Amino acid sequence: MNNLLILPLLIPLSAAALLLLFKNNVPVQRRLSLLSVLATLAAAVALLYQVRTAGIQTLYMGAWMPPYGIVFTADMLAALLVLVTAIVALGCLLFSFGTVGEQRERSYYYSFFQFLLVGVNGSFLTGDLFNLFVCFEVMLISSYALIVLGGTKRQLRETLKYIMINILSSTLFVAAVAYLYGVIGTLNMADLSVRIAESGQGGILNVIAVLFMIVFSLKAGLFLFFWLPGSYSAPPAAVSALFGALLTKVGVYALLRTFTLMFYHDPGVTHSWLAGMAAATMLLGGLGAIAYSDVQRIMNYNVIVSVGFLVLGLAAASHAALDGVVFYLLHDMIAKALLFILGGLLIRIAGTNKLAEMGGLIRQHPALGWMFFLAALSIAGIPPLSGFPGKLLIVQGALEQQYYWLTGLSLLSSLIVLYSLVRLFMGAFWGEAKPQAKAEAKPSFAMYASAAGLTALMLLIGFGAEWVYAFVSDAGNTLANPDIYIQAVMKE
Amino acid sequence: MELYMSLAIGVLFAVGVYLMLNKSLLRIILGTTLLTHGVHLLLLTMSRLKTGAPPLLSEAAEHYVDPLPQALILTSIVISFGVTSFFFVLAYKAYQKLGTDDMEQLKGDNDE
């Protein structure tokens, strides 16, 4: 029992409720939401410290023992993800201050922001399948509001599609929960894992596993990503950064939990499906990333490629590969937030999102240019930077499983990612300066500060990889040995 | 009993999917509501429709029906209620601003 576990939910939840009272007082809203994110960050650090020193932490809601009550569980993976969520949220919040505009800020923008954090943190920490569904909905309903806030034509059009896809996938989620409850008769993840192991996974349980795979793939943008490129270009840059860094990664986390904790007995069926979908995702995402010359589209397809890469590690499912997935997941959340923030600044400075109309920006904005360059190298996985250790471990794990074609494809996708981002860098920052017709005011210090902070963190993760790996291998160990998780939850 | 319920749920799913593949936005929303009806009935059915008293201890019966799916359905109903009302208002707003409810005409272009 550890009440610290609930703080990453309670702090943003109370902040979101309080923020509803200060509709027209923007300075108070900003301070309150900043305070809330900082407090969440502190709680996440404390939680990580406890998990590191005392093992997996659990909280039984209302002291009902599992499997009867709802249990919140923080293993190393969940604690790390909550911490990175808080960091990303801080970066996006600082970036929001100058960029989302007063109109949106007066329309409960910060409340929705905090509710989104509640949903994301809840999804990471919950140990109950139906509670996961509820946390998903908290996250998704806030994201509907954030994506449409402002109400431009493009936002309205894209939100209709986004909401439709998500209603469908949520419906399928409930259907999958219903089938699983009908077959197994419990909804607690640890208890599910035990009972699935007892009854032997085959036949109907494989079908349910594939149904869960479809549900979470729709959320994560794994193969079923057709909704993502359009939806993520609609909202303002700060919101896209939040979405690109957090929303798809919650889907990846759900896939990780489902296929390492519950449905890991028949990898010939489930994991080979995952591998095939990962390959298709990397290939199609890579094609999208080089096909467009629109800054937002290029960034959106890069989100998709990295989801494919992460799921390749999950499909390989060896200890090394799972370590790699955790490392790459942490890196990718930070790197994607940074990429979208830099891309947002770029579009703001150039006054357009078309690559062909940009050029020569390095002379006026050297700091932005070099940060973008570093981010591009890091996402591609160039050695001293943070993308490298995760990719190395995933490739190593995939080779151990003799996935030679898939490994080759994943390396090719890294090359494509590098090409697409360097093309963006060269097109926007090198060459002749083009006349900037409708460029907005020069970005303020606060906007640069969030980008610089995330860049520094990315460098820190890259150079201090060994120190980070100590945490990551603990998380990977729990994923590779589900018994550790089950023992921690069901111990009493 | 479970067989007949399954058939009815299957019909709800089929009609819901058909409506969701329509061009008209209103039909799509109706399709999503049919799908959620189907899935709620599925939750009820999957917990076996055996006879028993309602889950109230004051009934003092020998057998009760399973109380858990009822709680799950109640949760899911209010969530889909919230989402559906948001979807309706969004469709109304989109109709006002974009002047069409035909999904074919809601394709993205970058010149705005």
A147 exposure class (CB count in 10 Å sphere: 0-12, 13-18, 19+)? buried
Q: How far apart are CA A199 and CA A98, in angstroms?
A: 56
Determine the pLDDT at residue A445: 80
pLDDT class of B111 with cuts at 50, 70, 90: very low
Q: Per-residue pLDDT tens for B70-91?
A: 999 999 999 999 999 999 999 9
Count CA atoms closer than 13 A to A218's CA, side-chain side. 20
Determine the pLDDT at residue A469: 95
Interchain CB distance below 8 Å, B32 and A181 = no
Radius of gyration of chain B, Cα coordinates, nearest whole angstrom = 19
Determine the pLDDT at residue A19: 96
Determine the pLDDT at residue A440: 58
CB pairs under 8 A between A and B: 98
Q: Per-residue pLDDT tens for A330-373?
A: 999 999 999 999 999 999 888 888 998 888 888 888 999 999 99
Helix/strand/coil for A437: coil
Interchain CB distance below 8 Å, A141 and B68 = no
Interchain CB distance below 8 Å, A164 and B42 = no
**Residue A204 pLDDT more than 60?**
yes
**Residue A492 pLDDT more than 70?**
no
**Residue A79 pLDDT more than 50?**
yes
Q: Which of B48, B87, B97 sits opposite A163 (nearest CB)?
A: B87
> CA A224, A341, A81, A395: dihedral to nearest 10 degrees?
60
> CA A9, A51, A303, A348: dihedral to nearest 10 degrees?
60
- Which of A132, A144, A153, A171 to probe by mutation at the B interface, max B CB count within 10 Å? A171
For residue B2, the chain A residue with the least C-alpha distance is A182
Interchain CB distance below 8 Å, A179 and B46 = yes
Q: By percentage, how much of chain A surpasses pLDDT 90? A: 85
pLDDT class of B103 with cuts at 50, 70, 90: confident
List residues of chain B with CB under 8 Å from any CB of chain A.
Answer: 20, 25, 28, 32, 35-36, 39-40, 42-43, 45-48, 68-69, 72, 75-76, 79-80, 82-83, 86-87, 90-91, 93-94, 97-98, 103, 106, 108, 110, 112
Q: Which two tokens stand for residue A172?
A: 């399928």
ipTM above 0.90, yes or no: yes
Query: Angle at the Cα of A166 (from A216 to A475), degrees rounded to 5?
Result: 30
Determine the pLDDT at residue A340: 96
A356 shares contact with chain B (CB less than 8 Å) = no
Determine the pLDDT at residue A352: 86
Helix/strand/coil for A123: helix
**Residue A460 pLDDT more than 90?**
yes
For residue A171, the chain B residue with the least C-alpha distance is B36
For residue B105, the chain A residue with the least C-alpha distance is A157
Determine the pLDDT at residue A167: 96
Q: How far apart are CA A444 and CA A423, in angstroms?
A: 26
Q: How far apart are CA A158 and CA A231, in angstroms?
A: 5
Interchain CB distance below 8 Å, A164 and B68 = no
Span of A73-77, A163-167, A264-268 with lowest mean pLDDT: A264-268
Q: What is the mean pLDDT of residues A215-234?
A: 93
Q: What is the mean pLDDT of residues A250-270?
A: 94
User: For A430-444, where are the alpha helices, taking DSSP H only?
Assistant: none
Q: Per-residue pLDDT tens for A86-102?
A: 999 999 999 999 889 88
Helix/strand/coil for A31: helix
Taking CB atoms and an 8 Å cutoff, what residues of chain A touch B36?
167, 171, 174
Q: How far apart are CA B112 and CA B110, in angstroms?
A: 6
From residue A276, how far is each of A54, A332, A440, B110 by CA, in Å? Answer: 38, 21, 44, 33
Q: Report chain B's terminal Cα–Cα distance, integer Å.
A: 55
A179 shares contact with chain B (CB less than 8 Å) = yes
Determine the pLDDT at residue A392: 95
Q: Per-residue pLDDT tens for B42-77?
A: 999 998 888 889 999 998 888 999 999 999 999 999
Q: Which of A145, A181, A353 sits opposite B69 (nearest CB)?
A: A181
The residues, ordered by sequence, that sit 6+ positions from B93 with a Cβ below 8 Å of its Cβ are A151, A156
Element at A195 (helix H, strand E): helix A189-199
Q: By percentage, how much of chain B surpasses pLDDT 70? A: 96
Gap from A168 CA to chain B (nearest CA, Å): 7
